[in-house]
């Protein structure tokens, strides 16, 4: 019997598998397809990403550095309200290679990482969890003391165990052009109902265009309008769900959710790489597979770390839907040098952040 079976080997699952294996636990990690594919997430991340990777990984993953964002109330060509830092605020990376690198780190730590293995059933019992797995040419059962559901926004683990759904699910789309662009700023367009559209320069790797919107919105039509306005052709079109707002409970007696499966994302951008890996670290520190009651400590730990940021992120997102004159007034008043960390909206209220605002 395994100590942990990890379902889903994205950043959150690979991080948990690596740290748990390094701590001496017997870990099996299952990915239903090939790690890193299909791509369904942007590669625009804060520079904190490198803290989770060995130094040599940067040479493979790095594509461009970003110093800030140009916010537009309209489409391309409209006035840009620039928010910037004097140092790098974020990087653009190869998102597929990130997943593969994190999975390799889990293998090196001793986790048994298996691709093309799909979990089709989750049976939680008093003393174990029995998973039905399809892969390796057949269907078989795996027994584990605990299961980590890291299987994304449409989580089979979450639904099999009747855990509550995230508060909201957005529909995100993105694609890439072959333009070479080493620009220092991403473009953000507040033209999508309830969210925004973006343009991210990726150096020699091209440019990423994308947007996300609530259910019912015509995301494909809005995306076509975005790329027409920029007069570009794109390929490698990707589409996926973005969970917003973690539910009130992400654990059962012998299972816990991490990352997108738990809705551990930034409400104002939809990104969840750093939040998911941070929650994975909390899980490794708090969860004992021989003590199911320790799952309560995981619930407390990740919420103490991320709940305030998520709550403030919801307030930031509300600004996307303000009337256009108020948006322009606010952007004009606040644009300029910032002291805010892109993953931590609470830094707006730090001494450095407030000093930037007051000194403007």
Q: Where are the domains of the chain?
A: 1-43+94-166+245-319, 62-91+168-242+322-338
Q: Which residues pair with 112 in a beta bridge?
A: 28
- pLDDT reported for residue 350: 57
- pLDDT reported for residue 309: 95
Contacts of 161 (CB under 8 A, 6+ apart): 122, 124, 149, 252, 255
Q: Which of 3.30.9.10, 3.30.465.10, 3.40.50.2300, 2.60.40.10 would CATH assign to domain 62-91+168-242+322-338?
A: 3.30.9.10
Give me the CATH code for the 1-43+94-166+245-319 domain, please: 3.50.50.60
Return d(Cα 288, Cα 117) in angstroms, integer: 25
Return d(Cα 276, Cα 261) in angstroms, integer: 9
Structure-block tokens of residue 340:
């805010």
Residue 99: how many other CB atoms lie within 10 Å:
23
Predicted structure pTM score: 0.94
- pLDDT reported for residue 349: 67
Return d(Cα 354, Cα 360) in angstroms, integer: 10
- pLDDT reported for residue 354: 47
Where does 95-155 have alpha helices with state H?
95-109
Return d(Cα 318, Cα 219) in angstroms, integer: 19
Judge whether residue 273 has pLDDT over 90.
Answer: yes
Using CA atoms, how far residue 105 sits from 18, 54, 219, 304, 330, in Å, is 6, 9, 36, 27, 44
pLDDT category at 7 given cuts 50, 70, 90 is very high
The residue-averaged pLDDT of 54-77 equals 95
Judge whether residue 321 has pLDDT over 80.
Answer: yes
pLDDT digits (tens, 9 = 90+) for 91-135: 999 999 999 999 999 999 999 999 999 999 999 999 999 999 999
Percent of the chain exceeding pLDDT 90 equals: 86
1-43+94-166+245-319 shares its CATH topology with 62-91+168-242+322-338: no
pLDDT digits (tens, 9 = 90+) for 154-205: 999 999 999 999 999 999 999 999 999 999 999 999 999 999 999 999 999 9
Where does the chain have alpha helices with state H?
11-22, 57-61, 95-109, 156-160, 219-230, 273-286, 295-318, 324-334, 351-358
Return d(Cα 5, Cα 268) in angstroms, integer: 31
Using alpha carbons, select from 199, 195, 196 the residue that is nearest to residue 168: 195
Judge whether residue 356 has pLDDT over 80.
Answer: no
pLDDT category at 344 given cuts 50, 70, 90 is confident
Using CA atoms, how far residue 246 sits from 42, 153, 303, 306, 343, in Å, is 20, 11, 10, 10, 16
């Amino acid at each position: 019997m395994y100590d942990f079976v990890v379902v889903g080997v994205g950043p959150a699952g690979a991080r948990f598998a690596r740290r748990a294996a390094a701590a001496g636990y017997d870990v099996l990690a299952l990915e239903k397809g090939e790690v890193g594919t299909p791509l369904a997430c942007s590669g625009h991340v804060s520079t904190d990403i490198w803290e989770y990777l060995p130094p040599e990984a940067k040479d493979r993953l790095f594509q461009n550095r970003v110093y800030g964002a140009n916010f537009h109330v309209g489409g391309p060509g409209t006035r840009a309200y620039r928010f910037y830092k004097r140092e790098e605020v974020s990087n653009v990376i190869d998102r597929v290679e990130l997943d593969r690198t994190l999975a390799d780190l889990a293998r090196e730590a001793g986790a048994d990482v298996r691709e093309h293995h799909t979990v089709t059933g989750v049976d939680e019992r008093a003393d174990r969890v029995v998973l039905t797995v399809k892969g390796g040419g057949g269907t078989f059962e795996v027994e584990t003391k605990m299961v980590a559901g890291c299987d994304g926004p449409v989580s089979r683990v979450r639904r099999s165990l009747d855990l509550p759904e995230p508060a909201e699910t957005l529909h995100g789309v993105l694609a890439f052009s072959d333009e070479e662009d080493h620009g220092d700023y991403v473009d953000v367009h507040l033209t999508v109902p309830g969210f925004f559209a973006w343009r991210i320069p990726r150096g020699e790797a091209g440019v990423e265009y994308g947007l996300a919107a609530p259910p019912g919105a015509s995301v494909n039509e809005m995306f076509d309008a975005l790329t027409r306005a920029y007069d570009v052709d794109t390929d490698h079109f990707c589409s996926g769900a973005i969970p917003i707002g973690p539910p009130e409970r992400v654990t059962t007696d012998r299972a816990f959710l991490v990352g997108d499966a738990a809705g551990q994302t930034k409400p104002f951008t939809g990104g969840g790489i750093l939040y998911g890996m941070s929650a994975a670290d909390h899980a490794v520190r708090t969860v004992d597979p021989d003590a199911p009651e320790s799952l309560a400590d995981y619930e407390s730990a990740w919420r103490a770390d991320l709940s305030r940021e998520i709550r403030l992120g919801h307030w930031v997102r509300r600004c996307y839907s303000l009337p256009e004159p108020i948006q322009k007034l606010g952007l004009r008043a606040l644009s300029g040098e910032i002291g805010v960390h892109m993953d931590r909206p609470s830094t707006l209220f730090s001494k450095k952040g407030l000093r930037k605002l007051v000194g403007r």
